Amino acid sequence: MNTKIIGTGYDLPAFAADNNYLATLVDTSDEWIVERTGIRTRHLAKEETTTSMAVNASRQALERAGMQAEDVELLIVATISGDTETPSTACRVQAEIGANRAVAFDINAACSGFLYGMHVAEAFIRSGIYRNALVIGAETLSKLIDWTDRSTCVLFGDGAGAAVLAATEETGIISQSIGSNGEKWEVLECQGRPNGNPLCEKGQELKYMTMNGQEVFKFAVKTVPLCVEDAVEKAGIGLDEVKYFLLHQANKRIIQSVAKRLGQPEEKFPMNLDQCGNTSAASLPILLAQMDEQGLLQKGDRLVLSGFGAGLTWGACLLEWQK
């Protein structure tokens, strides 16, 4: 049994903070941020939460799929910024949308999380255990960021995207691969809550996200082309037969470099990072849903989704659009 996407949705916080606004917080400038990253603005949550954005994205995806929440069998949320340590964001979304028959859990694979979620969902559908899945990427990274650290705070944004996957006799997802390298975990990290049990030293601070930007950059431009080529080769097709390469929206220079390494024109690499920044696990499903909404995807189009992130983790998915 194959798997296809039958509905997409997304949600962004109402407040958009442009680079000039960030320049009032840290020593930076619109010029520096645009030149090094391509980012011009990003949405930051004020009232919104990871759960509320995931719920809105899910409702839109289900509506566009023509599916009722109570028919969802598997509900996966990819996130590193849930509103509660426990329960999972997936369980909270399940309750809010009324997906009362679904099994629900979170995946923590940072910016590769949505691709990990797609991979797990497809494996369940292919094996016949479930007939459909709601896969969501949702983040409120703004709460993990040190707003005095100019090297990270200019990069990230908040939002959520969702896709409804269903079993199909059509082609749908053609090949997928995901990977991890835990040896590099310190390159991009956010420490959790300090242990406050009576045996531990008191007064430890909550830590924020830290990143070795150049290491991440090198890793991304090396790994993404390899996993994209792998996904395409496995399918026995050429890169030229892919209509769009949707890459994790971290940095315009990374995307341009990947395009060059793959020998593909930049027009095949859609971007929304100028408006959304890096929304981690939400980045790919937001981009996909926006393209779907804009009518850019035609039945039969071959798409590659690929990303990379903390862990380190990465992944790629080649699919034939069947909506």
Using CB under 6 A as the binding rule, whether residue 160 contacts ligand ACO is answered as no
How near is the Cβ of 118 to ligand ACO at its closest, in Å? Answer: 17
In a 3-state reduction of DSSP, which class is residue 170? coil
Backbone angles phi, psi at 291, to 5 degrees: -65, -40
Cβ neighbour number for residue 43 with a 10 Å cutoff: 23
Check 91, 111, 276, 317 and give the catalytic one: 111
Using CB under 6 A as the binding rule, whether residue 213 contacts ligand ACO is answered as yes
- Taking residues 62 to 101 in sequence order and writing x for each that binds ligand ACO by CB under 6 A, - otherwise, the string is ----------------------------------------
Using CB under 6 A as the binding rule, whether residue 216 contacts ligand ACO is answered as yes
Q: Which residue is nearest to ligand ACO (CB)?
A: 213
Q: If you ran DSSP here, which 8-state letter would residue 207 be given?
A: P
Residue 278 annotated as catalytic: yes
Using CB under 6 A as the binding rule, whether residue 217 contacts ligand ACO is answered as yes
Q: If you ran DSSP here, which 8-state letter would residue 212 be given?
A: -
How near is the Cβ of 247 to ligand ACO at its closest, in Å? Answer: 11
Residue 248 annotated as catalytic: yes
Using CB under 6 A as the binding rule, whether residue 38 contacts ligand ACO is answered as no
State the DSSP string of 235-274: TT--GGG-SEEEE-SS-HHHHHHHHHHHT--GGGS---HH
Q: Which of 5, 53, 133, 188 binds ligand ACO (CB under 6 A)?
A: 188
Count of residues engaged in binding ligand ACO, rule: CB under 6 A = 24
What's the CA gap between 223 and 234, in Å, rounded?
A: 17
Q: How far is CA 135 from CA 79, 200, 286, in A?
A: 11, 39, 12
What's the CA gap between 132 and 5, in Å, rounded?
A: 10
What is the token pair recorded at 73?
């069998």
Task: Give CA 211 to chain center in angstroms.
Answer: 18
Check 2, 248, 251, 317 and give the catalytic one: 248
- Taking residues 109 to 148 in sequence order and writing x for each that binds ligand ACO by CB under 6 A, - otherwise, the string is -xx-------------------------------------
Using CB under 6 A as the binding rule, whether residue 208 contacts ligand ACO is answered as no
Contact between 113 and 81 under an 8 Å Cβ cutoff? The reply is no
Using CB under 6 A as the binding rule, whether residue 3 contacts ligand ACO is answered as no
Using CB under 6 A as the binding rule, whether residue 214 contacts ligand ACO is answered as yes
What's the CA gap between 281 and 23, in Å, rounded?
A: 26
Task: List beta partners, residue 137.
Answer: 78, 161
Using CB under 6 A as the binding rule, whether residue 28 contacts ligand ACO is answered as yes
Q: Which are the catalytic amino acids?
A: 111, 248, 278
Binding footprint of ligand ACO on the chain (CB under 6 A) = 28, 32-33, 36-37, 110-111, 150-151, 154-155, 188, 211, 213-214, 216-217, 250-251, 254, 278, 280, 309-310
